[in-house]
Structures are given as C-alpha cells and as structure tokens.
C-alpha cells in the first residue's frame, strides 16, 4: 500500500482476512480468536494474539497447515510464544524451530516495492482431519506512524467462529472513542484501566457475495481510536506533505521547462500532470516513517521513481512553482469503499491531489489516464483533504454518464465462399479510455489472436493504427481480422454477427456487475454509455429470412436498446447500454431490476440471423 495505516489493521485482520479465500472451499472452525492490545498513553501498544483453528476434513488440514504473520521490522517486534498442532486425541506437537521462519514480502512482478514489511511463517506438523492448530504471539510497537492509535475492522461471515474477541486495554484517563455495528460490546473497568471488548460469533458460515462494495461499509464491524478528529488526522499528513512538496530551485527549473511558453493555468496544470504521470515510475515505499512521510519533490526528480505520496508531493511542488494551488486528498483505493467510520481513524492507503481553482482531482499514479480522469473506484469515494489548519472530509464527485463512453464499430464482409473478414474501430473517452490505453499496451499478433478467441471467434488479425496518447482524452484503435471458420449462409447456417478484433467489452454487465440473482448488499455501479455497431456485407442475392425485432428495456438506473436493419446487402446491428446511477454504490433494489435486464441483454447478444435467397 502506498500509505500504510496503523499496524493494528494488519493485526486485527490477519487471522481472518489472510485465510478468507481458503474458508470458502474448505472446512474449519476458529475455536479461539482472541486479540488483546494494551495501549500506552501515546498510542503505542503491546499486543497478544491467540488463535486456535480446527480442521474438519482432509482438504482443510492440507490447506491450513501454514500461517503467515506480517509485521514492520523497523517499527514492531514480533515474538512467537506458542505454536503447536493439537491432535484429535489431545496430543500436542510443538512446531520445530526450523519451521518458523521469515519470508520476503509477496508482490506481483509488475510491482516494485521498497519495504521493511516482513512475514513470519509457521508450518504446523502432522495436521490431519479433526486436528487443530494453535499459535500465540506478541507484537510490540516501538514507533508510531500516525500520532496515536486507531483501527477499523470488519468480521467475515464466510468463516465459522465460536467466539472472536478484540480487547483494547487502556488507562482510564486516556481519551478513547469507538463505534460498532452488529458487534457485541462491553466495557470493564478496574484499577484505573478500561477494557473495551468487541466480540462476534458465527456458528454457520455464509458464502461471500461476490462483487459487493467493501464489507467495511455495510458488514458487522467496529472502529476504535485515540485520534481527536479527521481534521487532526489530515493536519498531521498535511504538514508532512507540505514539507515534502516545498518548491526548490530544481522544482522551479523543471516546472518552467515543462510548461515552456504556455500561460493558461489549466494547460500548465495539464502539462505538469502529464510529465509526472509519464516520467515518474511507480515504486511503493514502505520503510519506517516512509510509510506515511512522502519523499521530497527534489529527491523524486533525481531518482525518477516514487509511490503515490511522492508523486503527489512532486506534482504539488511543480504546480506551486507556477502559482497553482493544490491539496493532498487521502482515500481508500483498490477496494470499493464509499464510507468512512464516524470516529476518526488513520485508515487510508492512497493519496491524490485536488486543484481548488480548477475543481479537479488528479491521480498521477495511473499512467493510462488523461488529465482530470480518475480510475474506477475513485469516483464518489470519501476523501480527507489534508491541509494543516484546513483539513476536511469531502467526497469525490460521482461519475457522469457523458464522461464515460465507448464504441466498437465493426465492418465485416462475408465472401461468396463463406470467409469472414473485417475492420474494427474502437473509441473511448473518460475512464474507459484509460482502460483501452492499458489494453493497447500489447498490440502484438499473438494478442490479436487471443482477443478474437476471447470474443468467441478464432482467427488472425492485427492492429493497423493505435491512437492512445494520454494527452488526448479520446483513444482510438483500428484493426483488421479474418476468422478461421467459414459460414454457409446460403445453406441456412445462422449468422452470429462477428464481434471483431476488440478489447472493449460488450454493452451490458461491465458497468453494473453480474446479477444472476438479486444482491443482498450494496454493489459498485458505474455511469457510462457503451455502443456496439456491427455491419455485415453479404454476398449478392442473400437477404434475412426475418429480422430480429428491435428491443428496448429500462430500469431506474440503466437502459438498453438494440436495432436490426438490412439495406443494400448489408445487415446493421446497433446496441447501446446507458447507465445513470446517482452514485457508485447501488442498492439491492437496483439489483432486483437488473436481474431481468441483464438476462434480456444476454439473450440479445446471442441473437442470430438466418438468410435465404
């Protein structure tokens, strides 16, 4: 994560979240899940985590014999107190010393990472069906990231849990506030100390509903903090950002070089944004205070790499050198989060910039975007503007239908011997354009064959022209294709209009997600317009036996229509899908409407045309 939050997030989540994928396909129960945090007045803590998990079958035993514990080597000390396999007959088999070891952080090959994050792995011996694993460890903080303690957690109904307890022990004089939702709670006071105990049980697991917004928005959850307000959180980061985005001679010189003779402020901002997005390689930095403190703008100019914090600080410095104000905005990215806890927590993992004079949010880490366009999941998200003395919670504007547009136009020809060849033009604007630029980073012949097969028709093809300059808000791709399988229209074979050589998905599911059955929880939904036009030129003398009927279906947040025409030997099919949600978190009642709409769209996508002479 570009910005690492209070380590309690990792602590409280790991025992459940780290194994949630296994829980959906294997059988085990957490019989003990107790985490106790003893808080010091400054927010540091000593944590004791005790967990015991029983495997009910061979698959659970085979997949559940290893536990990975993550911690920050520079800010935390981790000590394994106990690690044993408890056999079904009561025997306890201790984990050997050589089966407890540190491993390197696991990241994808596409991500560069400078971090002091370590993972201690425990491999349990002779775990069979009916056995349990038990482990206890201590984790002490030696250095804080945020100036205090805070965490926000949610429980996972996909796990069977006898009883989970998260206990926070603190001096009675210490200011601590909390909130909880569908979570049991009690307070114990003794000897000048307070114990806040959040507990939850789940004897019957419930499968996760795929494609929902984050359970942190709607699930059973709690938050606890010693921080005074979100303004306090923002002011702290605002001071760090201000120091790192100071205008130096190097910054001033670079800004002048980038903008050249351009005087219009918006054009200058665009040029500076484009330069940072194209020239600063993303590298996550999470070492010590570097988890929260941005690298200085001058250092980033020299190194030519940096994470979101560094890129936002550099862009802010370049803008300031030209007299353009900006504000860092903290947010939760890479998860569908559309709310913040009412009590203030330092639970942010990304930072972008806001330009007050232009009323624009910018994210320079998404190299595929044009100026002022954000990735999916950013729109309608809550943000904390971090400006010392003026910090405030705000919300990024929701997506607008007109801002997201894509069109795929296919011109195909069926020859007299049944060969199908054609040309495709793809056009996109807004966030869809960012996706298309990303897809178009590979326009090889091999990729062309892969895309044709992905859309249901093997063949060969190549891209003729690719216009994907990020400075241009519109992206265009032109390609040609030839399908491998001929078609015998004169013999009565049905024609499924060819989809062409394309990256963009078909009008329908993409903007609102899958709805085979009504959803129980809120789900991400996006505003936009998708158009698909397919024109097929046929051999002379052939005409449709019957054209499919035109179709129009609507719901409160979406509309779809298709039109079929035949003129001068050419079949033309036009499909359009338009979505108009008010925000990016739609409700279950919207899903009930979408079930029928998406079923109709799938049927229309499968529509074929039969020709005769």
Is residue 222 included in any domain, yes or no? no
Q: Are 409 and 535 members of one domain? A: yes
Contact 490, 613 (CB under 8 A): yes
* DSSP secondary structure letters along 447-506: HHHHHHHHTT--EEEEEEEEE--TTSSEEEEEEEEEESS---GGGTPPB-----S-SSPP
Which pLDDT tens digit goes with each residue over 338-348?
999 999 999 89
State yes or no: pLDDT of 24 exceeds 50: no
Mean pLDDT along residues 311-338: 95
Is residue 2 included in any domain, yes or no? no
DSSP label of 493: P
CA distance 316 to 273: 10
Q: Are 171 and 193 members of one domain? A: yes
Domain stop point among 210, 241, 270: 210
What residues make up the domain containing 500?
A: 402-612
Strands 28-39 and 45-55, bridge-based pairing: antiparallel
pLDDT-derived band at 15 (thresholds 50, 70, 90) equals very low
- Beta strands of 252-404 (E only): which ranges? 281-282, 284-286, 305-306, 327-331, 350-355, 360-362, 382-385, 392-395
19-28, 386-395, 423-432, 591-600: range with lowest mean pLDDT: 19-28
pLDDT-derived band at 467 (thresholds 50, 70, 90) equals confident
Classify residue 165 as exposed, middle or buried by CB count within 10 Å of its CB (0-12, 13-18, 19+): middle
Whichever domain contains 282, its CATH number is 3.10.620.30
Which pLDDT tens digit goes with each residue over 238-253?
999 999 999 999 999 9
**pTM (2 decimals)?**
0.90
Whichever domain contains 598, its CATH number is 2.60.120.1130
pLDDT-derived band at 26 (thresholds 50, 70, 90) equals low
Return the SS3 of 476.
strand
pLDDT at 291: 83
Which pLDDT tens digit goes with each residue over 248-294?
999 999 999 999 999 999 999 999 999 999 999 998 876 667 688 99
63 torsion bin: left (phi>0), alpha (psi -120 to 50), beta (else): alpha
CA distance 489 to 149: 71
Classify residue 179 as exposed, middle or buried by CB count within 10 Å of its CB (0-12, 13-18, 19+): middle
Q: Which of 97, 84, 99, 163 minimizes the C-alpha distance to 131?
A: 84
Q: Are 251 and 344 members of one domain? A: yes
DSSP label of 96: P
Can you give 30-88 as a three-state secondary structure string?
A: EEEEEEEEEECCCCCEEEEEEEEEEECCHHHHHHCCEEEEEEECCCEEEEEEEEEEECC
**Whole-number percent of the chain with pLDDT over 70:** 93
State yes or no: pLDDT of 477 exceeds 50: yes
> What is the biggest distance separating any 2 CA atoms in the chain, rounded to whole angstroms?
96
* Angle at 562 (CA atoms; ends 427, 499), nearest 5 degrees: 50
Return the SS3 of 597.
helix
Q: Which of 416, 505, 502 minimizes the C-alpha distance to 461?
A: 502
DSSP label of 548: P
200 torsion bin: left (phi>0), alpha (psi -120 to 50), beta (else): beta
Q: Are 389 and 491 members of one domain? A: no
pLDDT at 112: 53
Q: Are 320 and 176 members of one domain? A: no
Q: Are 160 and 274 members of one domain? A: no
Q: Are 110 and 46 members of one domain? A: yes
Mean pLDDT along residues 377-385: 97
CA distance 555 to 592: 10
Domain stop point among 367, 395, 423: 395
CA distance 360 to 267: 13
Contact 182, 43 (CB under 8 A): no
Neighbours of 584 (CB within 10 A): 23
pLDDT at 220: 96
Contact 117, 291 (CB under 8 A): no
Q: Which of 460, 478, 474 minimizes the C-alpha distance to 411?
A: 478
Is residue 217 included in any domain, yes or no? no
Q: Are 206 and 254 members of one domain? A: no
- The whole-chain average pLDDT of the chain stands at 91
Contact 145, 289 (CB under 8 A): yes
pLDDT-derived band at 468 (thresholds 50, 70, 90) equals confident
State yes or no: pLDDT of 7 exceeds 60: no
Residue 15 dihedral angles phi and psi, to the nearest 5°: -65, -25
Domain stop point among 347, 362, 395: 395
Q: Are 205 and 247 members of one domain? A: no
Neighbours of 595 (CB within 10 A): 16
Neighbours of 114 (CB within 10 A): 12
Return the SS3 of 449.
helix
| Tokens standing for residue 258 | 């980038």
Contact 506, 451 (CB under 8 A): no
Q: Give residue for tokens 């303690």.
A: 149
Residue 246 dihedral angles phi and psi, to the nearest 5°: -60, 140
Contacts of 391 (CB under 8 A, 6+ apart): 230, 231, 232, 233, 234, 235, 238, 384, 385
Q: How far is CA 276 from the centre of its chain?
A: 22
| Tokens standing for residue 301 | 């100019």
State yes or no: pLDDT of 520 exceeds 90: yes
Contact 478, 468 (CB under 8 A): no
Q: Are 381 and 438 members of one domain? A: no
pLDDT at 109: 52
Q: Which of 239, 161, 238 minimizes the C-alpha distance to 205?
A: 161
Highest mean pLDDT pick, 11-25, 30-44, 95-109: 30-44
pLDDT at 613: 79
Whichever domain contains 85, its CATH number is 2.60.40.3140
Is residue 20 included in any domain, yes or no? yes
Mean pLDDT along residues 79-100: 96
Q: Are 491 and 444 members of one domain? A: yes
Is residue 526 included in any domain, yes or no? yes
Contacts of 220 (CB under 8 A, 6+ apart): 154, 155, 157, 181, 182, 183, 200
pLDDT at 106: 60
pLDDT at 108: 55
Is residue 108 included in any domain, yes or no? yes
Q: Are 61 and 204 members of one domain? A: yes
pLDDT at 19: 35
Is residue 381 included in any domain, yes or no? yes
Contacts of 148 (CB under 8 A, 6+ apart): 42, 43, 225, 226, 227, 346
Residue 234 dihedral angles phi and psi, to the nearest 5°: -65, -40
Is residue 223 included in any domain, yes or no? no
Contact 35, 8 (CB under 8 A): no
Contacts of 493 (CB under 8 A, 6+ apart): 487, 610
Q: How many domains does the chain have?
A: 3
pLDDT-derived band at 4 (thresholds 50, 70, 90) equals very low
Mean pLDDT along residues 436-441: 94
pLDDT-derived band at 8 (thresholds 50, 70, 90) equals very low
State yes or no: pLDDT of 16 exceeds 70: no
How far are the Cα atoms of 30, 57, 514, 594 from residue 602, in angstroms, in the given order? 42, 39, 11, 12
């Amino acid at each position: 994560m570009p910005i690492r939050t209070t380590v309690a997030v990792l602590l409280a989540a790991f025992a459940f979240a780290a194994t949630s994928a296994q829980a959906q396909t294997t059988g085990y129960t957490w019989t003990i899940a107790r985490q106790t945090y003893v808080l010091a007045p400054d927010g540091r803590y000593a944590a004791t985590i005790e967990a015991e998990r029983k495997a009910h079958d061979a698959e659970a035993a085979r997949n559940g014999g290893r536990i990975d514990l993550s911690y920050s080597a520079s800010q935390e000390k981790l000590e394994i107190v106990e690690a044993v396999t408890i056999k079904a007959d009561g025997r306890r088999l201790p984990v050997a010393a050589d089966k407890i070891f540190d491993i390197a952080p696991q990241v994808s090959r596409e991500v560069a990472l400078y971090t002091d994050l370590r993972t201690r792995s425990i491999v349990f011996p002779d775990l069979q069906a009916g056995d349990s694993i038990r482990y206890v460890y201590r984790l002490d903080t030696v250095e804080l990231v945020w100036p205090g303690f805070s965490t926000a957690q949610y429980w996972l109904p996909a796990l069977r849990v006898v009883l989970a307890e998260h206990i926070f022990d603190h001096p009675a004089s210490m200011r601590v506030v909390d909130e909880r939702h569908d979570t049991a709670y009690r307070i114990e006071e003794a000897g000048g100390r307070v114990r806040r105990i959040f507990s939850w049980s789940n004897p019957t697991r419930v499968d996760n509903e795929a494609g929902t917004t984050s359970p942190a928005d709607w699930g059973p959850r709690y938050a606890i903090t010693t921080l005074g307000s979100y303004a306090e959180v923002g002011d702290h980061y605002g001071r760090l950002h201000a120091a790192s985005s100071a205008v130096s001679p190097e910054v001033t010189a670079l800004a002048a070089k980038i903008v050249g003779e351009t005087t219009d402020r918006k054009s200058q901002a665009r040029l500076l944004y484009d330069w940072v997005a194209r020239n600063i390689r993303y590298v996550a930095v999470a070492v010590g205070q570097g988890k929260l403190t941005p690298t200085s703008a001058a250092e980033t100019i020299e190194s030519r790499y940096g994470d979101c914090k560094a890129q936002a600080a550099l862009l802010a410095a370049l803008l300031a050198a030209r007299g353009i104000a900006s504000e860092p905005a903290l947010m939760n990215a890479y998860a569908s989060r559309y709310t913040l806890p009412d009590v203030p927590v330092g639970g942010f993992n990304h930072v972008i910039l806001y330009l007050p004079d232009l009323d624009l949010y910018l994210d320079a880490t998404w190299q595929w975007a044009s100026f002022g366009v954000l990735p999916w999941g950013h729109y309608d998200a809550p943000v904390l503007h971090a400006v010392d003395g003026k910090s405030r919670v705000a919300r990024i504007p929701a997506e607008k239908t007109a801002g997201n547009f894509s069109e795929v136009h296919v011109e195909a020809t069926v020859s007299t011997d049944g060969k199908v060849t054609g040309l495709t033009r793809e056009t996109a604007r807004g966030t869809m354009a960012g996706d298309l630029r990303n897809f178009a980073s590979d326009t090889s012949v091999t990729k062309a064959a892969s895309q044709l097969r992905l859309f249901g028709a093997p063949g060969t093809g190549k891209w003729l022209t690719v216009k994907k300059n990020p400075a241009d808000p519109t992206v265009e791709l032109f390609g040609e294709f030839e399908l491998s399988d001929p078609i015998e229209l004169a013999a009565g074979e049905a024609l499924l209009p060819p989809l062409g050589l394309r990256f963009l998905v078909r009008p329908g599911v993409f903007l609102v997600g899958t709805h085979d059955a009504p959803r129980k929880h809120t789900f991400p939904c996006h505003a936009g317009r998708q158009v698909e036009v397919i024109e097929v030129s046929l051999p002379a003398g052939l005409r449709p036996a019957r054209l499919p009927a035109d179709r129009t279906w609507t719901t409160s947040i979406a509309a779809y229509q298709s039109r079929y025409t035949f003129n001068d030997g050419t079949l033309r099919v036009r499909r359009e899908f338009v979505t108009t949600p008010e925000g990016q978190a739609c409700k279950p009642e919207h899903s009930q409407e979408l079930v029928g709409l998406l079923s109709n769209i799938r049927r229309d996508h499968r529509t074929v045309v039969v020709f005769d002479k």
